[in-house]
Every structure is written in structure tokens, then in C-alpha cells.
Structure 1
Amino acid sequence: MAIRIVIMNFFLKFTFSFYTYLSLVSAFSPLDHYLINCGSADPVATDLYRRIFKGDSVSGHLVSIRASRVFNADPSSYSSCGLYRTARAFNRPLHYAFPIKDPGTHHLVRLHFYPFNSSYFSEAQFHVLANGFLLLHNFRIVESENLPVIKEFIIPVDSEKLKVTFVPLDNSKFAVVNAIEVISAPRDLVADLAQYVDSEKNEQISGLLKNGLETVHRVNVGGFKVTPFNDSFWRTWVTDDKYLKSSDVMEKIRFGGRINYQLGGASREVGPDNVYNTARVIKSSNGTIPNTNIKWVFEVEKGYRYMIRMHFCDIVSVATGMLYFNVYVNDNLAYENLDLSYITNRLLASPFYADFVVDEDNSGVLTVGVGPSNMSLPRAADAILNGIEVLKMNNSMGSFDGEVCTEFVLRSWRRGNAGVLVPLVAVIFLLLIASVFLQRRRNWFGDSVAWSRLPVDVSEVNLKCGNQFSSGKA
């Protein structure tokens, strides 16, 4: 156990130092930053957070508009935000193409959906692909109180172009989208190393840079909701109340001082000030260390691997070297005797994050917890957590939504739309065979044989139907 703690300390310390260097080199400014208002010919539209979205008709990123249709909302339906007043629908596969100036990095892809015409949008069912990743499969926009629906993915992009493709389920359905964001991610947003945790082992794994991630939950622990206006990477962090399993000994903490990013293992793009300056903590009472943990429970889709990112920032200790605690994932000990002072070069209020990878165990839930350790001190803080992110990882087929790949989706659409062509070809083929057969019989028996105008096994009505199909008429 002692050896494992030393190895984990070294791993976290190295990770912290590496990303400290990256954060000091330069401030984040995305090389690729595309904000598209779909279905609009207007040059710009503004969302609730004062960002400017270009209309896709004038942006140059929509490859073709011939197979698409524009929808405009009733001005009273969502008048507070121009971004969701228009949408573009497709009845065949169509894609948006974005030139990439920063290949070899992860890019954030956000898809916005708002069913302002619910009776029509309920007919939409489609897939969404992006450079070999299947983002959405058989997706429907479900009208609910949580509108708009925003799907967020972070995927590696190695090419000089990112294509986001919308594929209707079949020729009777259509695809629809209100807005698209494509933004290159900072280098320290996705790390290649993480700690794999289950009931049998706790070990370091690598290769995460090859994977994509889908945001499932993003939570500001102990604080208020953080909107994209207050996040330099334009994310939303919700409050943790509905995920929290109550504990009588915990407290909410809010910090009014400065968050020390300059020596931290996380930049503001990894986590904003409003996440790191709030937390939930366990404190000793009357010199007694509580024998309890704080626990959060998250619903997830079964059958996938997940990355759980936990954000820490010691905003409660009065001095370094006073906070030691355990970290739990799915009730398994993920880290024992975590010492934030050691990791952050003995600097308080310095943010740090740790990534843990878990396999969903068919329960449909993941749990995260922190609690006192055997090194916790009386009359001090005994556990702390500032933020939690639960991110779904793509499966071996590059899919976030089912055991299918992008090639299968595209082939299926082509097969589905061959339903009219196949019978037409079959009828023409049968007519050709009948014609050849008749001609051979005429040649065999000679002109002395009397012939009826039609063969006895083909009715005149059927022949007329065949002629209609062969001429392309309905």
C-alpha cells in the first residue's frame, strides 16, 4: 500500500508540474473557433452569453443547401435568444465542413437543438457523425422543460478538416439542428494518463488522447450554477444538490481570495474561478474526526467506459500540510491520503484535477466520494471537493451511442433509400427475360404459328404497371 501511495504521489506531482508549465507558456486562445447559427441567412446572431454566431447560409461551412429546408420560429416562442429562432432540416445526408488550423488536438463540438415547432420536429430522427466518430444514433429531440438540448463532445482531430454530418434515419425522416460550435481545446484539457479503478485493481493507464469524450454531467460542488458567460471555455456547470447523498457533517465553503492558477495543475479552461472558489468539506468537530464520507450519485448509460474528473482546490486550510483525505470512485478506494499541499508545491488555493477511468457495472449509476483518511488531523478539514465531471468515452467502434460505426450508418441510409429502385429494376429485368423468351419461341416455330399479343402468364394490367415503372412514372 505504501508503494502504491508513493507511485500515485509521483504521478499526480508530475501531472501537476507538466500542466503548470503548459499554463505558464501562454494564455489559451483557440485557433479554431466556429459558431454557426443554422437555418439563417443573417450574418450574425447573438446567444444569451453575448457570443456571435454566423448564419450558415453565409458562413461557407454548409457544403450544400439544395437538400435542406429552413425553419423559422414564431417570434413569441423563444424571443429572448435569436440563436434558437431558426433551424435547418435535411432529408438526405449533408455535412458542415470546418477547416482546422490546429490539427492533432482535441476539438469541442457542441450541437444545439430547440424544438420550437414540436408537432413537426417530433418527426425528426437522425444520426450525427464527425470525422469517424458516431456522436448520436437514432436521435430524437424530446420536448421537455430542459430546453434547449445541447450535446457536447470533445474529439481528437488529426486532419485539416472536421466534417459534422447529419444523416436522416431513412427517407421518411429528416435531420434538424439549430446551432453548431466547433472550438479547438487547450492542450491541458485532455490528459493522456489516468487512473483506472475497479474492485480488483487501481493502476495507471495511458492512451486517452486517442479517445473522444461526451459530457454527461458537469457539476459545481457546493456552489451556484456557472453559465458559459462565466467560463472561458463556454461551459455550463450545474449545482450538485440533486446528485448529493446527504451527510450531516459536511459544510459548504466559499472563498473570496485569489485562485492561484499560475502554479496550478489546471488552467481556467480546465476549471473556472467559480468552480474552484466553492467546495463541500468535512471538518472535525470538537477535536473528533468524523467517520463518514460525502457521496455523489450520477445516472449514466450502461455498457460504456467513463472518465471521472475530480477538481480540487484547498480553499479551507489555514496552513499547508493539514489536509489529508481519501477519494472514492464507485465505492472503491481511488486515492488514499491525498495531500494537496504536496501536489501543488505547498501552495494553498491552487487548483488541481485528477482523472479516474471506470467501467460501468450495469447498475446505471456511478458514485464519487471523499472522506477522512488515517492521516486526517483533528481540528482541521478532513476532506474537500470542488467540482465533478462525468464524461462518456467512445467504444471500440468510435461510437458514443450504440454498437455501430459511421460506415454502417452511411451504408444503411443508402440501402434504406434503395427501396423503390430495387423493385423497379426487378420488374424491368423480368420484362426483358419475357421479351427474350418470346423472341426465341417465334424464331423456333417460324411464322406459321399464330401468336397472341400477350403471353398467357402475363396479364395486360401487369404489363402496363411494368411499363410505368420502367418509364419512371408512379
Structure 2
Amino acid sequence: MSSSSSRKYLSLTNLSLFTPLHLSFLFLHLTILVTGGLPPPYVPLDNIALDCGSSSQSFVYGRNWTADINSKVALLDQGSPSTNLKANGASTSSVPYYTARVSLSQFTYTFPVKTTGPKFVRLYFNPASYTGLIRSKASFSVTTGRYTFLSNFSGFHYTDPHGEQGGYAREFILNVEDEQKNLSITFTPSPHVADAYAFINGIEIVSMPTNLYYTAGDNPEQYNFDQGVYLPLQNETALEIMYRVNAGGGEITPPNDTGMFRSWLSDVDYLTDARPSAFQFNGTIQLQYNNHTRYAAPDVLYRTARTMGPDSTVNKKYNMTWEFPVHSTFIYLVRLHFCQFIPIILQKGDLVFKIYIANQTAERYTDIISWADGYGVPIYKDYAVMMDAGGNEGIQNLSIALHPIPSTIAVDAMLNGAEIFKLSKSDNLAGPNPAAFPDSPISNTPSATSTKPKHSRRRTVAIIGAAVSGIVVVSVLFLLIFRRRVQKFKDLVSGDAASNLSPLVSSSRKSTKTNRPSLPSDLCYRFSLVEIIAATNNFDDSFIIGVGGFGNVYKGLFDGGVNRAAIKRLNPSSRQGATEFRTEIEMLSQLRFRHLVSLIGYCNENNEMILVYDYMARGTLRDHLYRTDNPPLSWTQRLEICIGAARGLDYLHTGAKHTVIHRDVKTTNILLDDKWVAKVSDFGLSKTGPTSTSKGHVSTVVKGSIGYLDPEYCQRRQLTEKSDVYSFGVVLFEVLCARPAINRSAVPASLAELARQSHSNGTINEIIDPYLDGKISPDCLKNFVDVAVRCLLENGIERPSMTDVVWGLEFALQLQESAEENVKVAQTEKEVNMETPLKGSSIDDSSDLFSTGSELVVNSRILEMATTSSSDGQSFLSNESEKMMSGAVFSEIMNPEGR
């Protein structure tokens, strides 16, 4: 039986600043099981461990470390003599950190390898003081073939403030193609640094299974998740291992790996919240490996896991999140390891959760047993994320967050392990030297002894990089827009589903720290008033594209009109002021998501308060519903826009680090870009959700827009995410009916009340936008209305979550598309079989897709096209529709097998 596998790719769809680059792929292995017990370790054909600068062999961690003097495993080529030196006062005194090969000129190690193919290359450094040399002069590059591992690398930058340093490793993967089976590694002192020298303490070369990380050459199957490019991980790409963690378990040392001497650290240092618990080691379960996972990770990793904890109520209110500092402008491969071994989770649908990576939605419905097709079956999935510069070419946090989906046996989430790799860009893996870099992640120290405590030792493999050598960030339109002022930009913090950057400010012990000024210029670009005036032609009225409670919104033209932005200027008489101004900056600077509007920067000068956003070419959703000269939107367009906006709100409620309640959801705060992608905007009234586990609400003064305000919020002054759900329900009826939320000349004046009454009386059809008459599938309409009405329920606890709303709307769209496809099929068969008489009502007008008439008979075959209508105008479902519905709109959510 041949193995099957698939890759899914989140695409590289937009190269602009305003929608950060996103690329994601996943690799789910579902293959024939090959063993029911512990698989034998992989035996690498190439297993070289070189102790540089040493003259004698050593045996450490079950391995022989060969001396590089008169070595038979490596040939040393040097322009001028190099020196073997001992590290002075080093905190790490064991192999391979005790001695080093040091040189003021270029030198090269050439390793004769037994096979071509992918290899681990591990470089060990101890930036100690070496006799006769100045430690700060250690600056060099490391290359192999066409790849640059490190550029202008300075070990001095990785000493702690007290001058103490520890040994650390940098681990890489590359494919050896040389027919002569030689792997050469060259160390070159930086030419621009006087008296610069290069050094190396140890080198490992270890072979691995051909397709452990690279895409199998005989498996071309790929799935394009969105509309962008494919990204198979082919062997032309070099990788750097940034992090390798054992979630819920302790450190796994190299001898306990699957034969490739990898180190796996505990995940404790990267968790952002103390609540997640480690599920105890399960030593009784017999793991069932397949031919892809037998060497993927050690057995012990799949027998421990990190979970959210036993309290399902608490679990619903937060994300289990890890944060890993990484370099900007690179693509990162994130591999997540799973194995379901919890005794009460035995069937598909028992435990389901979401996965967010770099604040992007990677998985909406994660069911480990369904993926692995069994209990106790290890699997892994691969994702790639582009960490956009966002004005910052330094360090940002790459986050992994899990959130449970309710209505399952266990309202929980789990992860067994994770690996993060940097992918080479133009054959380059080098990142900038840190100015003051925090503790770094992975230590791959081969020595069992270390003078540092377990959780305080320097783990520098994951991040430490050398200075950028010609990194060209031409893929981000942001740098084109402001290329003449790029040096003035500050850190842009970016954010689930199809756009990504995680906040730089975090409670994580491993997060990059920033100090906030009175206004957060550290989070986004601060424009000068001169720039704003030039972009708006001194706030010319002809540039106004919108008016809101904040003030006028202008179209801003930059670089001679080549690039545009939306510029919101605070009206001094506006009820909104500095508080809302700051709130919006802080919120949007830390939230980046495909369906949230992107904040570029702000201006706070000469009493002017101005926000600069991504330009949304098609304006607000309301601009296309009523009181407009724009052509009406099709029903499918309206559904897709509603789904996009719902996803944005769902991200705020469940995908961000903390729950965010928008508090002003309405059709004028849903913007549309040139591709009709909906983005939620205007965060001036937003509030962070409750953080206390004892409270499910935030007590606050009532704010919002009339017609959209949650009655429960108004009465109790207790704000919850269900207040946003209510407001969104009003939006849904605006979309369906093309009517304003408040019409003071009508009775009732409230659209929400009118919708509830019409639904109760069975007269919804009477308030629908006339343009949509006959264009909506009855099944779709019933589902859509069901979702919208549930959103308007008086008791917030009875309303669906935004996750449920998203699923309900997606299901409605599926029903609409299916019905339209059936119509096309029927019309085609009708044209082919003109001689066959039609029974029932024919479809004469192609625009009236769903006119009355329940059957269309073609060649004696019945195609159910629509439902019949009762005398009072209320639709009822056909038999086939009832089968599709199986009850209420959310019934399929309760049946994960249906998704």
C-alpha cells in the first residue's frame, strides 16, 4: 500500500505593507502503519563530530569527538596558519567548547561524506577570551558552497551583561549534491573589522532520512490554500533550526533522539501564560508509527503533551500560546507534532481546537484522531509563515496559539512538540547581530556538564544571527511607498487567518521587550504633519472619502500619487478624543489579520491627531447596500463579505492573545478592498475582554452606535463578546434587507426589532431587498436568517459565538453555491433536451434563479431546484434540503465528521 500525503499552502497573495505577507503550508502524513512499538533509531551513514583545536579524541554523550589535528575525517585548508587555543575562563569547559580553531585569515574544513543528500550541520561556538586576541574582534562569516550560514557574525554580542558567556550551537540543514561527496565549510574574518578573527569550537555532520524535512520528489501533490504561489520545500533550500521543543515534557538530550542527535528543550520558557498544564507521561500506550513519523521525533515526545487544563470554562476564555523571537523578513517552517493519548479522548470529534500561527488561522478544525486515523498514532503538520519586516528588520515574536472549540467532550487543546526552522532567502540564512538580545532559545550542547542552571543557560541557537549581507526587502510594498524615509520607520507590529505578525510587547519571558512612550511610536510609524499635509493637499475637501464620529477620512497620495492610504483626521469638536485615538493605535498595532484593517501609522503634532490606514478602494459595506449610486451586490458577494467580517470578529474574540471586544460593529466599520475582501475597522471604542477567570464580562460605560447596541449591555453595563455578536446580527439583516439599522420614520424604527417580528410572523420575505427577490436559495435563506436571528437573542449567553456564526454563514454559502450549480446543470440539460416537455414551472428568466416550483423534470429525472411556497409566503424545505440541514443551522458544528 503506497503512502499518501498532502500539502496545503497559505498563499503569498499581497506584497503590500498594509496586508503583511502570508505564506503557509502544511504536511499531514496519513500513511500505512508500519510498527506498533518503539521504532529502531535511525542509523546515519555520516556521523561526524569534530572537536576543533583539539589533539585528542573524546567520548561525550555516547559519541566519539575526533580531534581536528591530523584528522582523518576533515581536511583543513588555510591561507595562513591557524591556531588551536584553549578558552580562557570559559563557563563551559567540556568538549567541544574547551578548545577552538582560531585564525586571522580564511580557513576551510572539507569533510568527505559517504552519501549525498540532506545533512545536519551543527556549529559550536564558545565566545570566550582567547590568548592574544580581543574578544570583541571575533567577527566572521561562515559559508558552504553557495549558502551563507552566518555573515559578519560576532560572538561578542552573545555574552551576557556581566561578560560571562556560555557555549552554544547553530544548527543548519542543507543538501549535499557534490558528486565527489565533499562538504566544505569556510570561515572568513570580516574584512571591514581591523584585526578580525574567526573561530570555531566544534562541527557535526549528520545525515538524515531523505524526506524528513524536504518535500518528497515522488509526491508532487500540493494544495493551494488561497490564491497564491506554491511552496514545496525542495532541497535547494537551506534551513536553520531555530527552536525544537518538547511540549509538556522535559529536555530530551541528543542520545535520546531518534539517532540524529537532536536536542529538544522544554517548552516552559516560551509559554505566555502559566495556566497550561503538562499531561502526565503515558508509558502504557503502544504508539503506532507510520513510515513518515518513525524518525520524526523521539518516542518520549509523543507520550507527553501540553494541555490547557481541566476547567472547560476557563479554557474557553484564553489561548494556550507560545512565543518565539525570530528574525524578520524570512520565511519560517513551523512543524507541530501531535499524538492523541489522553484516555478519555478515543473517537473523532472528542477533542477539537483551532491553531493560530503568527496570529494567522492555520487550522479552524483540528481533530488529531481524525488526522491520524487512530488513537496513539503520532503525526506532524508543517506550516510556513513569512515574517514581514513591518518596518523592523530585527526581532519579532512568532506565536503558536491553540484555542478549544466548545461542544466537544473535552473543551481543551493539546500539543506534543514543535520545531521552527528559518528558510534560506537567496541562499542566505544570516540575520542581524543583536544590539541587546534577550536570552536565546535552543542549546544543542553535546556536553552533559554545564555550570549554568537548566532554565538560565544561554540558548542561543534559535535566534543569534550575523549582520545582514545584502538582504533585499523588495517584496513589501511598504518599503516602496516610504523608501525615501524608511530609516524613520519604527517597529510595526503585525497580526489570523491570512495576514501575520505577532506583537513585540508580551508578557513572555522570551519575548522581545520595548519601552512605550506616551504614544506608542514603538508600534507603528509616526508621520510628520508635513507628510500628511502633502499627502492630502492640505486636507483638500476633494480628498475626503468618508466622514465618521472621529472626523473626516481623506485619501492620501504618496510618492507622487503612486501609492494611496486612508487618513483619518480627528475633528476637534468630535466626541471621540485622545483616549480613543490611543486605543486605536495600540489595538491595531498589535493586531494583524486578513480581515482587520491595517494601521500604517499616526501623526500627533500641533494638536492634530491623525491615523493612517491601508486604503480600502471600495469604501464601506454600507456604501453598497442603500442610499448609494453603487450597483447592488449579488447575494453571493454579500455572503462572502459577511463571512470575512465574521472571521475578523472571530479573530478578535478567540485568535488574539487576549480577547478584544470591538464594541462598535456596524456596516460603516466594515471596509472593502479592491478585491471585495471585508476588513473590520475603527477600534477606538474597543476593550480588552475579561482576564479574571471569575468574571465573564467587563463592567464599563455604555458606548456604541444606536441601532446596534446590545440591549443586555445597555441594561447591565456588562460588556462581553456576545455584545459584538448582537451588533453583527443587525449587520446581517442590513445586508439581507438593504435597510438602515434605525429608520425613525418606520414602525418599528429598529431593524433588529423589525427582523425579529418578521421572523416570528413568517414574513421575512417581505423585508428582503427587492433586488434579491428570486436570487436566494430557500435553504440558504433559512440558514442565513437562522444565524442572524440567533445573534439577536435577548440573553447573550444564548447567542452563538462568532466561531459558530462563521460556520453558519459558510454553510449558507455552500447551500447557495450548490443550488446555483444545480440550476446551471438543469439549464444545460434543458437546452440539450428541448424536445422533452417540462413539468411544473420553468425557469424563463435566468436572473430569477429560485422562483417558485419545486421540480424540474428533465428526461424523467427530477432535479429539486427550490421549495414550494405556502399560501402565507413562508417557505418550507424540500426533503433533500431537510437532509442537508439535519436540524438547526449549527447542527453540523456538532458533527465534526461533517466538516
1:395 match:
425
2:415 aligns with one of 374, 385, 395: 385
The Cα shift of 1:25 comes to: 10
Query: Is the contact made by 1:46 and 1:53 (CA closer than 8 Å) also made in structure 2?
Result: yes
Matched, 1:190 2:217: no
Query: Is the contact made by 1:265 and 1:352 (CA closer than 8 Å) also made in structure 2?
Result: no
Higher deviation after alignment, 200-209 or 65-74: 200-209
Matched, 1:314 2:340: yes
What amino acid maps onto 1:85 in structure 2?
A: Y
Query: Is the contact made by 1:13 and 1:344 (CA closer than 8 Å) also made in structure 2?
Result: no
Aligned CA distance change for structure 1 residues 223 and 399 (closer, same or farther; 3 Å) = closer
- Could you tell me how far apart the structure 1 residues matched to 2:137 and 2:106 are? 16
2:197 aligns with one of 174, 192, 201: 174
2:303 aligns with one of 253, 273, 277: 277
1:97 match:
110
The Cα shift of 1:90 comes to: 2.2
Aligned CA distance change for structure 1 residues 196 and 162 (closer, same or farther; 3 Å) = farther
Matched, 1:128 2:151: no
What amino acid maps onto 2:58 in structure 1?
A: A
The Cα shift of 1:399 comes to: 3.8
- Could you tell me how far apart the structure 1 residues matched to 2:91 and 2:315 are? 52
2:129 aligns with one of 100, 104, 117: 117
The Cα shift of 1:71 comes to: 3.3
1:69 match:
82
- Could you tell me how far apart the structure 1 residues matched to 2:291 and 2:430 are? 29
Matched, 1:34 2:34: no
Identity %: 29
- Could you tell me how far apart the structure 1 residues matched to 2:233 and 2:254 are? 30
Query: Is the contact made by 1:261 and 1:267 (CA closer than 8 Å) also made in structure 2?
Result: no
The Cα shift of 1:12 comes to: 7.4
Aligned CA distance change for structure 1 residues 397 and 51 (closer, same or farther; 3 Å) = closer
Query: Is the contact made by 1:261 and 1:268 (CA closer than 8 Å) also made in structure 2?
Result: no
2:430 is paired with a residue whose SS is coil
Extract unaligned runs of 5+ from structure 2.
1-5, 10-24, 391-395, 432-467, 472-899
Q: List aligned pairs for 1:460-471, cutoff 5 A.
A: none
1:156 aligns with one of 167, 171, 175: 175
1:238 match:
265
1:292 match:
318
The Cα shift of 1:76 comes to: 7.0
CA offsets 1:44-89 (integer angstroms, 9 cap, x no match) = 1233x23211111122313335723333326874685142221111
CA offsets 1:365-418 (integer angstroms, 9 cap, x no match) = 2111112136x513x25311111222111002444343449xxxxxxxxxxxxx
The Cα shift of 1:360 comes to: 0.3
What amino acid maps onto 1:174 in structure 2?
A: Y
The Cα shift of 1:304 comes to: 0.8
Aligned CA distance change for structure 1 residues 189 and 400 (closer, same or farther; 3 Å) = farther
- Higher strand fraction: Structure 1 or Structure 2? 1
1:366 aligns with one of 359, 379, 398: 398
What amino acid maps onto 2:408 in structure 1?
A: L
Extract unaligned runs of 5+ from structure 1.
1-5, 406-474
- Could you tell me how far apart the structure 1 residues matched to 2:287 and 2:188 are? 43
What amino acid maps onto 2:414 in structure 1?
A: I
Aligned CA distance change for structure 1 residues 136 and 7 (closer, same or farther; 3 Å) = closer
The Cα shift of 1:281 comes to: 1.2
- Could you tell me how far apart the structure 1 residues matched to 2:388 and 2:232 are? 21
- Could you tell me how far apart the structure 2 residues matched to 1:360 and 1:101 are? 37
What amino acid maps onto 2:210 in structure 1?
A: R
- RCO greater where, 1 or 2, for CA within 8 Å and sep 6 or more? 1
Aligned CA distance change for structure 1 residues 316 and 57 (closer, same or farther; 3 Å) = same
Query: Is the contact made by 1:196 and 1:356 (CA closer than 8 Å) also made in structure 2?
Result: no
2:885 match:
none
Higher deviation after alignment, 156-165 or 224-233: 224-233
1:83 is paired with a residue whose SS is coil
CA offsets 1:232-268 (integer angstroms, 9 cap, x no match) = 32222222222212164x3210223256554346546
CA offsets 1:140-199 (integer angstroms, 9 cap, x no match) = 11334562121100111111211111111127322111110011122342042899999x
Matched, 1:87 2:100: yes
- Could you tell me how far apart the structure 1 residues matched to 2:313 and 2:90 are? 57
Query: Is the contact made by 1:260 and 1:351 (CA closer than 8 Å) also made in structure 2?
Result: no
1:332 match:
360
Aligned CA distance change for structure 1 residues 258 and 90 (closer, same or farther; 3 Å) = farther
- Could you tell me how far apart the structure 2 residues matched to 1:386 and 1:68 are? 48
- Could you tell me how far apart the structure 2 residues matched to 1:201 and 1:208 are? 21
1:108 is paired with a residue whose SS is strand
Aligned CA distance change for structure 1 residues 265 and 366 (closer, same or farther; 3 Å) = farther
Aligned CA distance change for structure 1 residues 247 and 36 (closer, same or farther; 3 Å) = closer
What is the TM-score with the length of structure 1 in the denominator? 0.73
Aligned CA distance change for structure 1 residues 308 and 113 (closer, same or farther; 3 Å) = same
1:256 match:
282
Query: Is the contact made by 1:281 and 1:381 (CA closer than 8 Å) also made in structure 2?
Result: no
Higher deviation after alignment, 30-39 or 77-86: 77-86
Aligned CA distance change for structure 1 residues 41 and 371 (closer, same or farther; 3 Å) = same
Aligned CA distance change for structure 1 residues 72 and 339 (closer, same or farther; 3 Å) = same
2:425 is paired with a residue whose SS is coil
CA offsets 1:179-231 (integer angstroms, 9 cap, x no match) = 10011122342042899999x77986324332111011222212212222322
| CA RMSD of superposed structures (Å) | 3.5
2:31 aligns with one of 17, 21, 39: 17
Aligned CA distance change for structure 1 residues 332 and 196 (closer, same or farther; 3 Å) = farther
1:417 match:
none
2:327 is paired with a residue whose SS is coil
**How many residues end up aligned between the 2 structures?**
390
What is the TM-score with the length of structure 2 in the denominator? 0.40
Aligned CA distance change for structure 1 residues 45 and 235 (closer, same or farther; 3 Å) = same
Aligned CA distance change for structure 1 residues 368 and 134 (closer, same or farther; 3 Å) = same
What amino acid maps onto 2:77 in structure 1?
A: S
Q: List aligned pairs for 1:209-220, cutoff 5 A.
A: 209-220=235-246
